[in-house]
């Protein structure tokens, strides 16, 4: 069945269906066999997976350096927090609203800067992230609650029938959202848009010369990435029941950047592994107390030494030339 | 007017900190095209080493060296220590990763930054450390209605001196020519007999040493240091680097000074809480109209 390999759906990420069943089975059983604490750890793993996937659109698919992604995440979280506490709009209704708000914000701020290249784009996105954070601290129009943030956010609920109020329900909520996003992103990768993105990443000038609207597709990546980060922000806000500017620092953006690169640029299973590394590692090494971040830093360096292309680099589709691209790890950014 | 002049001098002082740190960023970027996120932590580590020198050497400083001598001693020790640390970090964390490309190196730099930051926390503890007030020269100067300290002037003069020396090394000496050649095209430079490893060695001793001296200056100026301050200064210095045009050393210096002055004037005349927003907005505006920074050369697109 060689011909179904690239276009069929019996293989996701090159995984056999049986493997996929096992993985999803583990995910399903996991919350029933561990304590609430570890369910929450898995919830935050889910949040980081979602954030990694969202940055992966910008950084992995299109190769745009974005070190301010926490800003979009913050917009999503604060949209949810403010609309929910001030107007009592249900969290699940705000899920698409947060996505739209973050996407719209990305559209507004990225339109004028989308022509910048490489590190210049990088510093501007850092700047945007910082501006968002400082603005949140300074409490414009008395909306964001300053350094304390906004608290008293509701549980997500479907009417009064089904309220998501326990760790286990949150766990399923986040991982259902992650699963849906993964499905959507795989479809996107294989679509015309995904190919256009990858083409821009490989060579922007050639992409433009081949009739790809570079500006449009770059903006689209930013908007979609921001929207997904907004979704993550929504879930994060309702889980913690409060949001504060401390959760959206430059450091958070750096973590997302590391998730994508540790996993493998543009590789969806890689991003999940990267998110697992970033979110589970500090938990596993908790006994080391103050030394754990030392270990964390060292492991990051070692990973890049031994797997520079990421833990699970993106497999190229069958339509591309094998010769040049088969080598792992691209030579330039 | 007095406020303006005072803020201008404060801004120049802070700007010279940014400028000195930015030089380290810019040198590394120019040669390796690597955003060295660990550089901010070199600066912090230098500050802590200087602190330790002052605390443990307080008897010697008060008896023999005098306050200014103590300051110089702290700077020298910090600079030498950090030159070693810089070379070690380069060997351990960056050199094995160059062949893999730019982005893995960025992650490795972030890893090194986390490592250094937490090493500082483990060694000196997570709390703020205060530079011993009795060992900081405290002479006030009044020029007309302007109040400044002698320390500020010394810091400014030293910064400009250091920047000048670095500029002289890069622009006028043979070795500087080798560095500039390597920045332009490292393969061709190697073919012309330039020892590329020596160039890397040089930038990873000089950059962190400059950072360490700045760290001691910041400790003296604010009298309070914390193990996380490298992030903030690193971010500002990186901004200064980009503002001036990456890889352009005089650009980095001016970028730092402009940033510092803008920040202080923004804090004085607009709003102290929004000063960083102001700085980043200016940066974004500059980049919108000059996409390669204030002094950056227009790069032709290679196809």
Contact indicator for B40, A250 with CB cutoff of 8 Å: no
pLDDT of residue B120: 92
- Residue of B96, B100, B246 with shortest CB distance to A329: B100
Q: Is residue B283 within 8 angstroms of chain A, CB to CB? A: yes
Contact indicator for B244, B29 with CB cutoff of 8 Å: no
pLDDT of residue A12: 56
Asked whether residue B256 is assigned to any structural domain, the reply reads no
Beta carbons of B108 and A128 less than 8 Å apart? no
Asked whether residue B288 is assigned to any structural domain, the reply reads no
Given a cut of 50, whether residue A3 has pLDDT beyond it is no
- pLDDT tens, residue by residue, A202-227: 888 888 888 889 999 999 999 999 99
Beta carbons of B287 and A123 less than 8 Å apart? yes
Q: Is residue B88 within 8 angstroms of chain A, CB to CB? A: no
Q: What percentage of chain A has pLDDT greater than the value 90?
A: 23
**B46, B90, B49, B116: which is closest to B203 by C-alpha?**
B90
- Read off φ and ψ for residue A162, nearest 5 degrees: -125, 105
The 3-class SS string of chain A reads CCCHHHHCCCEECCEEHHHHHHHHHHHHHHHHHCCHHHHHHHHHHHHHHHHHHHHHHHHHHCCCCCCCHHHHHHHHHHHHHHHHHHHCCCHHHHHHHHHHHHHHHHHHHHHHHCCCCHHHHHHHHHHHHHHHHHHHHCCHHHCCCHHHCEECCCCCEECCCEECCCHHHHHHHHHHHHHHHHHHHHHHHCCHHHHHHHHHHHCHHHHHHCCCCHHHHHHHHHHHHHHHHHHHHHHHHHHHCEECHHHHCHHHHHHHHHHHHHHCCCCHHHHHHHHHHHHHHHHHCHHHHHHHHHHHHHHHHHHHHHCCCCCCCCCCCCCCCHHHHCCCCCCCC
Asked whether residue B12 is assigned to any structural domain, the reply reads no
Contact indicator for A309, A328 with CB cutoff of 8 Å: yes
Beta carbons of A300 and B114 less than 8 Å apart? yes
Asked whether residue B209 is assigned to any structural domain, the reply reads yes
Contact indicator for B228, B48 with CB cutoff of 8 Å: no
Q: How far is B277 from chain A, CA to nearest CA, in Å?
A: 5
**A54, A15, A16: which is closest to A223 by C-alpha?**
A54
What is the average pLDDT across A290-309?
Answer: 83
Residues in chain B: 303
Beta carbons of A290 and B118 less than 8 Å apart? yes
pLDDT band at A316 (very low <50, low <70, confident <90, very high): low
Q: How far is A288 from chain B, CA to nearest CA, in Å?
A: 12
Q: How many domains does chain B have?
A: 1
The residue with greater pLDDT, B54 or A6, is: B54
Contact indicator for B43, B21 with CB cutoff of 8 Å: yes
Dig out the tokens for B75 from the structure.
């700077």
Q: Is residue B191 within 8 angstroms of chain A, CB to CB? A: no
Of all residues in chain A, the one with the smallest CA distance to B97 is A305
Considering only A274-278, B54-58, B143-147, which range has the smallest mean pLDDT? B143-147
Beta carbons of B92 and A301 less than 8 Å apart? yes
CA B256, B258, B263, B267 torsion: positive or negative? positive
In chain B, beta strands by DSSP E: 129-130, 140-143, 146-149, 224-225
Asked whether residue B290 is assigned to any structural domain, the reply reads no
- Chain A, 286 to 325: residues with Cβ < 8 Å from chain B are 290-291, 293-294, 296-301, 303-305, 308-309
- Long-range contacts, stretch B59-65, CB < 8 angstroms, 24+ apart: B61/B135, B62/B134, B62/B135
SS3 B299: coil
Distances (CA, A) of A38 to A43, A178, A273, A281: 8, 18, 17, 13
A289-293, A319-323, B268-272: which has the highest mean pLDDT? Answer: B268-272
Beta carbons of A116 and B121 less than 8 Å apart? no
The residue with greater pLDDT, A292 or B210, is: B210
**Element of type H or E holding B259:** helix B249-269
- pLDDT tens, residue by residue, A89-107: 888 888 899 999 999 999 9
B100-104, B127-131, B213-217, B285-289: which has the highest mean pLDDT? Answer: B213-217
What is the average pLDDT across B59-88?
Answer: 87
What's CA B155's distance to the chain center, in Å?
13
Q: B198: which DSSP letter?
A: H
* Residue B104 structural domain: 20-251
Q: Is residue A275 within 8 angstroms of chain B, CB to CB? A: no
Of all residues in chain A, the one with the smallest CA distance to B303 is A205
Predicted TM-score (pTM) of this structure: 0.85
**A268, A264, A274, A267: which is closest to A309 by C-alpha?**
A264
Q: How far is A84 from chain B, CA to nearest CA, in Å?
A: 27
Substitution target from A120, A125, A245 for chain B, most B beta carbons within 10 A: A120
Q: Is residue A115 within 8 angstroms of chain B, CB to CB? A: yes
Residue bearing tokens 């060579």: A203
Range list of H helices, B35-101:
39-56, 58-60, 66-89
pLDDT of residue A330: 47
What is the average pLDDT across A146-155?
Answer: 81
Given a cut of 60, whether residue A33 has pLDDT beyond it is yes
CA–CA gap between residue B12 and residue B240 (Å, rounded)? 13
Of all residues in chain A, the one with the smallest CA distance to B242 is A120
Residues of B in contact with A207 (CB under 8 A): none
What is the average pLDDT across B74-95?
Answer: 92
- pLDDT tens, residue by residue, A226-258: 999 999 999 999 888 888 888 898 888 988 988
Q: How far is B239 from chain A, CA to nearest CA, in Å?
A: 7
Q: Where are the domains of chain A?
A: 36-254
- Residue of A113, A205, A301 with shortest CB distance to B111: A301
What is the average pLDDT across B272-285?
Answer: 84
């Amino acid at each position: 069945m060689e011909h179904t390999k690239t276009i069929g759906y019996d293989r996701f990420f090159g995984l056999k269906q049986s493997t996929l069943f096992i993985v999803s089975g583990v995910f399903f059983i996991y919350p029933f066999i561990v304590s609430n604490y570890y369910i929450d750890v898995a919830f935050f793993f889910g949040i980081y997976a979602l954030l990694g996937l969202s940055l992966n659109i910008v950084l992995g698919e299109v190769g745009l350096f974005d070190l301010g992604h926490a800003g979009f995440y913050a917009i999503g979280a604060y949209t949810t927090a403010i609309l929910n506490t001030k107007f009592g709009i249900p969290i699940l209704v705000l899920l698409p609203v947060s996505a739209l708000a973050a996407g719209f914000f990305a559209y507004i701020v990225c339109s004028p800067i989308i022509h910048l290249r490489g590190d210049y784009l990088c510093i501007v996105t850092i700047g945007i992230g910082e501006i968002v954070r400082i603005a949140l601290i300074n409490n414009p129009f008395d909306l964001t609650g300053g350094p304390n943030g906004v608290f008293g956010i509701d549980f997500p609920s479907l009417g009064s029938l089904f309220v998501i109020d326990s760790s286990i329900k949150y766990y399923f909520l986040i991982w259902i959202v992650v699963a849906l996003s993964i499905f959507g992103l795989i479809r996107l990768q294989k679509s015309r848009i995904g190919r256009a993105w990858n083409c821009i990443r490989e060579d922007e000038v050639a992409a433009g010369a081949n009739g790809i609207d570079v500006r449009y597709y770059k903006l689209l990546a930013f908007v979609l990435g921001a929207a997904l980060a907004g979704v993550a922000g929504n879930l994060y806000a309702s889980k913690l029941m409060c949001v504060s500017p401390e959760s959206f620092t430059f450091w958070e953006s750096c973590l997302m950047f590391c998730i994508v690169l540790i996993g493998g640029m543009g590789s969806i299973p890689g991003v999940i592994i990267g998110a697992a590394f970033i979110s589970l590692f500090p938990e596993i090494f908790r006994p080391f107390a103050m030394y754990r971040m030392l270990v964390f830093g060292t492991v990051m360096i070692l990973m890049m030494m031994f797997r520079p292309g990421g833990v699970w680099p993106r497999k190229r589709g069958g339509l591309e030339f094998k010769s040049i691209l088969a080598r792992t790890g691209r030579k330039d950014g | 007017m007095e406020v303006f002049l005072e803020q201008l001098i404060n801004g120049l002082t802070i700007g010279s900190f940014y400028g000195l740190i930015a030089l380290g960023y810019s040198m590394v970027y120019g040669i390796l095209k690597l955003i060295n996120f660990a550089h901010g932590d070199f600066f912090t580590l230098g500050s802590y080493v200087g602190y330790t020198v002052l605390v443990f050497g307080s008897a010697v400083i008060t008896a023999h060296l005098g306050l200014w001598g103590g300051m110089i001693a702290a700077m020298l020790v910090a600079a030498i220590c950090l030159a070693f640390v810089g070379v070690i970090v380069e060997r351990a964390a960056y050199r094995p990763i160059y062949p893999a490309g730019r982005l893995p190196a960025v992650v490795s730099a972030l890893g090194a930054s986390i490592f250094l930051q937490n090493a500082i926390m483990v060694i000196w503890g997570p709390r703020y450390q205060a530079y011993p007030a009795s060992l900081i020269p405290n002479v006030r100067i009044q020029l007309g209605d302007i109040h400044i300290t002698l320390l500020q002037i010394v810091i400014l003069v030293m910064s400009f001196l250091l920047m000048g020396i670095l500029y002289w090394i890069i622009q006028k000496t043979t070795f500087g020519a080798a560095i500039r050649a390597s920045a332009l095209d490292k393969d061709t430079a190697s073919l012309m007999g330039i020892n590329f490893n020596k160039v890397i060695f040089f930038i990873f001793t000089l950059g962190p040493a400059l950072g360490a001296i700045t760290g001691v200056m910041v400790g003296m100026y604010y009298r309070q240091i914390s193990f996380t301050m490298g992030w903030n200064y690193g971010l500002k210095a990186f901004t200064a680097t980009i503002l001036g045009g990456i890889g352009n050393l005089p650009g980095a210096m001016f970028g730092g000074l402009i940033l510092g002055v803008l920040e202080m004037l923004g804090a004085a005349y607009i709003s102290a809480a929004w000063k960083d927003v102001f700085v980043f907005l200016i940066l974004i505006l500059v980049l919108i109209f000059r996409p390669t920074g204030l002094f950056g050369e227009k790069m032709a697109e290679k196809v």
